[in-house]
Amino acid sequence: MSEKFDRITFPVEFLTPRELIEKGAVEILAKTDTYCSLRILPADLKNEDLKLLLEKFRELDIEDHFIPWPLLDVEDGYYPNEISVDKFRELIINLLEWYKTNGFNMPLGVLIDLEPPTDPKEAKKAEKLREQRMKTKSKLKQKLMWKRQKKKGAIGKLKTINNLIDTVKTNINPKRFEDSITKFVEIQKIMHDYGTKAIAVALPLAYEDAFDGRFLIQDFMTVPVSNVDWDMINYMIFNTDYVAASKGIISHSDYQHLIYVYGKEFVEKFGPERSSITLGITNLGVADIRAVQTDPKLYKMEASALLAAGLKELGLYALDGILEQKDPVKWIETVKSAKASDFKIDPEKIQFAGEIRRLFRAVDFLAPTLKYLVDSGRYKKIIQMAILGKL
């Protein structure tokens, strides 16, 4: 059981280096002794602002508090995965050469955010919603805006099904998946040669996929998470993907117990120095339209559960949303005040956490059936029956 976290890291996805400087973000990180992982696109390496930002970190004697988060352009898939691995390898080399050329210390680690490719069309929709949200100060109006975006009619549901089928056809490729494992191992070796570590970031579904040894879900998601011996593994287990998404069927307390169970298992499996969980979300993502949680007291409760589980590393997505709060320093200090002793175990909720995870593993169990339905074309009959209301 940990008394406090060794490191709390805030990803930064939609603020530029200049905006971070102008918002006083580096001073906030220095004052709270916290870290940030900034999204770095290929074009950022040619922008003088990134150098100015790192110089600001150095000036405040917290150069090691900056963790780069390299991502590709949306048109190239955005995230590193088996489809984009070659372009991502090039980006990693360019990033580390940038550090070397500009005379900065190599970072403690670099985030390898293993997620499926991003749809450029969906990214544009989410960007538009983020812009609208930023202009809307009323939290009630923001909530209504989010609800309107989430509503789907029959056509929308049919589109979702078709997108899923297209994804199965495009993503599942066992040979490409196996080849990408070797490529990611090579990328990690390159990083080690430069003097930094590979911090893999993944979704919990990828973790649940590993228990039967088949990695079908990871192949579907195009992310080889389990077959690379990452220096650290961070799983994004966001409150908003459980509590809000389940319409409250999963309560906040249920969610606390779920991340406690995950955290305890990660510490046992990977060790406290190689395990981390990222909480969230405080603002919308690159291509998603999800609920947002900004109450620091809720994050404090979640952090307490992770401390009780023995975790020493915490991520919280994202600094973008935190900087919009009335007092970002007080917000962060509230989360930092979490104590392991504040978390009280409820045996029934521990059991419920296990049942939630069982549902995840059921997806893995059903994956071969889904692939068969797509490959055989039988899915067309199912869709036809659904449209006619016969299901």
Neighbours of 240 (CB within 10 A): 18
- Angle, to 10 degrees, between the axis of helix 139-150 and the axis of helix 120-135? 160
Rounded Cα–Cα distance for residues 178 and 201 (Å) = 19
- Encode burial over 175-205: b for 16+ CB neighbours within 10 A, e otherwise: eebeebbebbbebbeebeebebbbbbbbbbb
Least confident of 95-99, 167-171, 210-214, 246-250: 167-171
Homologous superfamily of 7-387 in CATH? Aldolase class I (3.20.20.70)
Neighbours of 5 (CB within 10 A): 19
Quick one: pLDDT at residue 3? 85
Rounded Cα–Cα distance for residues 296 and 335 (Å) = 6
Which strand (E) or helix (H) includes residue 99?
helix 85-101
Rounded Cα–Cα distance for residues 391 and 379 (Å) = 13
For residues 172 and 217, the answer to whether their CB atoms sit within 8 Å is no
Rounded Cα–Cα distance for residues 40 and 22 (Å) = 18
Quick one: pLDDT at residue 290? 67
Two tokens, residue 310: 């023995």
Residue with tokens 């990180």: 29
Quick one: pLDDT at residue 130? 63
Strand 66-70 to 197-202 pairing: unpaired
User: Is 60 exceeded by the pLDDT of residue 143?
Assistant: no
User: Is 90 exceeded by the pLDDT of residue 274?
Assistant: yes
Quick one: pLDDT at residue 377? 79
Rounded Cα–Cα distance for residues 292 and 282 (Å) = 5
Rounded Cα–Cα distance for residues 149 and 147 (Å) = 5
- Residue ranges of domains in the chain: 7-387
Instruction: State the Rg of the chain over Cα.
Output: 21
Rounded Cα–Cα distance for residues 9 and 23 (Å) = 18
Quick one: pLDDT at residue 378? 76
Which pLDDT band holds residue 368 (cuts at 50, 70, 90)?
confident
Which pLDDT band holds residue 155 (cuts at 50, 70, 90)?
very low
Greater confidence (216 vs 224) lies with 224
Quick one: pLDDT at residue 316? 98
Can you spell out the DSSP letters for 156-175?
A: HHHHHHHHHHHHHHHH--HH
β-partners of residue 290 are: none
Q: What average pLDDT does this structure show over 201-209? A: 95
User: Within 13 Å of residue 259, how many CA atoms lie on the same side as its CB?
Assistant: 36
Least confident of 198-207, 240-249, 277-286, 378-387: 378-387
The length of the chain, given as a count of residues: 391
For residues 32 and 336, the answer to whether their CB atoms sit within 8 Å is yes
Quick one: pLDDT at residue 125? 73
User: Is 50 exceeded by the pLDDT of residue 154?
Assistant: no
User: Is 90 exceeded by the pLDDT of residue 181?
Assistant: yes
| Angle (CA) 173 266 112, round 5° | 50
Diameter over CA atoms, the chain: 67
Which residues fall within 8 angstroms of residue 10, CB to CB, at 6 or more apart?
29, 34, 35, 36, 37, 315, 316, 317, 318, 319, 322
pLDDT tens-digit map of 288-301? 666 799 999 999 99
Which strand (E) or helix (H) includes residue 40?
strand 35-40
Least confident of 98-112, 139-153, 315-329: 139-153
